[in-house]
Amino acid sequence: SPVALPPFFMRGSIIQLADGELKRVEDLKTEDFIQSAEISSELKIDSSTVERIDSGQNPNAVVIQFSVGELKAQVCVEVLVEYPFFVFGQGWSSCCPDRTTQLFELSCAKLCVGDVCVSLTLRSLR
């Protein structure tokens, strides 16, 4: 079932980076994720490329197929259309940016096939 949108995507939410620095969610940059993952002993940043976007079972949901990491593992997630992903070099992006902005006041680009999103895996999995 689709994942409900958690509260930390609301504009103004305070996010703590791995080095302790605090930033607002709307001010996060690609480097913040990369540097935080470099500090982390457990988490690793992966590049996840959007391969397909299909409608979900719920009219407000979409099924996004990602190609994850160097191994290009195929992973599908079903999320609400307003769920934002962080695209490398671009920032927050969702399948329905108008709805994300309306609900969370978070400025978003349109998430498209070919976009490369920030995702996490466990270092121990490798």
Which residues sit at the interface with another protein, rule CB under 8 A?
6-9, 13-18, 22, 25, 28, 32-33, 36, 40, 43, 45-46, 48, 66, 68-69, 71, 73-75, 77, 85-86, 117-122, 125
Give how far the C-alpha of residue 103 lies from the chain's centroid of Cα atoms, to the nearest Å: 17
Give how far the C-alpha of residue 100 lies from the chain's centroid of Cα atoms, to the nearest Å: 13
C-alpha 117/C-alpha 126 separation (Å) is 20
Sign of CA dihedral 94, 95, 101, 105: negative
Residue closer to another protein, measured from CB, 6 or 59: 6
Q: How far is the CB of 43 from another protein (least distance, A)?
A: 6
Q: How far is the CB of 40 from another protein (least distance, A)?
A: 7
Q: How far is the CB of 25 from another protein (least distance, A)?
A: 7
Helix (H) or strand (E) holding 109: strand 109-110
Q: How far is the CB of 84 from another protein (least distance, A)?
A: 8
